[in-house]
Amino acid sequence: MSRSTVVSGLHQVPGDKSITHRALMLAALAPGRSTVAGALTSLDARSTASVLRQLGAEISPLRPGQQVEIRGHRRLTAPRSTLHCGNSGTTARLVLGILAAHPFAARLSGDASLRRRPMRRVTEPLQRMGASVVAGAGDGLPLTLTGGRLNPLHWTLPVASAQIKSALLLAGAIGGVTVDLIEPALSRDHTERLLAHFGYRLHRRGNLLHLEPAGVIGHFTTRIPGDPSSAIFLVAAAILAKRGEIRISDVGLNPTRTGFLAILARMGATVDATHQGESLGEPYGELVARPAALRGVVVSAEESAGIIDEIPMLAALASRAEGTSRFEGLAELRVKESDRLQLMAQNLNAVGASAEVRGDALEVTGRLGAYHGRVVTLGDHRIAMAFSVLGSQPGSDIRIDDPGCAAVSFPGFAERLAALFQPAGRRS
């Protein structure tokens, strides 16, 4: 990688992972032909496409730079074999919600990492709605769900989770029943925006979300905006540089996804966001990032709920900030692709930073100087990318055991990161 300290250029990031999953799922449930441009083509997105094909949807290959064509049907068909969700928790949990409204049995599994992730938080309310679930002794995959006629649901979510919320909303929308959800904190609202686009009535009063299944999912054409959870890695690299400025175009600016911008501002960085348009109810625009001197920050548990995917990069930035930063309410990081909370602290200390886990909080004390050491990712893409950004600084020598795992959400990440340090005018 270039060791230049100057960043420049206009850049793009892959399509939003959360919206890609949901757009493919809704297109599979829409009679006729839908077209999705800018879709993420990562391993997780391909897992969703593969599962939907097994359920009767016709989906063209997900290839970079090509639009995806989906021919869907109002009702899915029973799969002939196990639905393998790969490493994708979004695929598994949202598909469970969809399947709950279909009168057949389906067995779901995934890779070793996904099989360790909790599923009862989704299957328990789906069982309350009328679905049948047969699982092993643990709390994860593999499991078999049999759907059918559903009952209305009133449920308090145990954690703020867009995946749990989305699974239950999709079950209600497809099953034609009302759903009332009480969230401990607000989470990403992509599913609400998409369902509202198709005429479903959603009302929020404080932390209570109500769904009336009044809509009809129809075929559509859309472009997926760039993923802000991917953009943060390029933004962070620009913040740590010595000079220059980068622009990232066509990035999703959904307010439930851009909480990290407020955190960066408190740390002393200025990242400008300019609204450019909307697609299927999702706003998008341009981010402009410049170098900045950082200071420590305290991030509350309520804030953390909305930036859980950005915590690894924010924690890595905190290791270069003046003072000590504290990130609270990170219990959900323990059940991601890895125990992301413990792994972040372990790796920060391994390269020469100072980090400590205190309960469900992470404390990071910043320091100057180059970082050296080996990073263990356990296949966690966000860990790999966060430490790649730290390793892009001159004098650093950070060796990452599996940099290729970044392809889970950001195909071609190493090349995109290196492109920030190329002469102005180059586009990535």
Active site residues: 309
Residues 70-107 as b or e (16 or more Cβ within 10 Å = b):
bbbeeebeebeebbbbbbbbbbbbbbbbbbbbbeeebe
Spell out where 147-297 has E strands.
153-156, 179-182, 201-205, 208-212, 221-223, 243-244, 246-252, 271-279, 282-289
155 Cβ neighbours under 8 A, 6+ residues apart: 125, 128, 168, 179, 180, 181, 182
Q: Which of 86, 82, 81, 102 is nearest to 28 (CA)?
A: 102
The partner residues of 34 in beta bridges, in order of sequence, read: 70
Q: Rounded distance, CA 23 to CA 220, Å?
A: 9
DSSP string, 204-236: EETTEEEEE--------EEEPPBPHHHHHHHHH
Which residues have C-beta within 8 Å of that of residue 129, sequence separation ≥ 6?
Answer: 100, 150, 151, 152, 153, 168, 171, 172, 175, 177
Instruction: Retrieve residue 269's tokens.
Output: 């960085």
Task: For residue 106, report the phi and psi dihedrals to the nearest 5 degrees.
Answer: -145, 135
User: Whose structure tokens read 């602290």?
Assistant: 345
Distance CA 399, CA 374 (A): 5
Query: Is the sign of the CA dihedral 310, 331, 192, 94 positive or negative?
Result: positive
Q: How many other CB atoms are found less than 10 A from the CB of residue 383?
A: 29
Which residues have CB under 8 Å from 268's CB, separation 6+? Answer: 292, 293, 294, 295, 321
Q: What are phi and psi of 78, to 5 degrees?
A: -65, 135
CA distance 19 to 275: 18
Instruction: Tell me which residue of 9, 14, 10, 4 sits closest to 385, measured CA to CA.
Output: 14
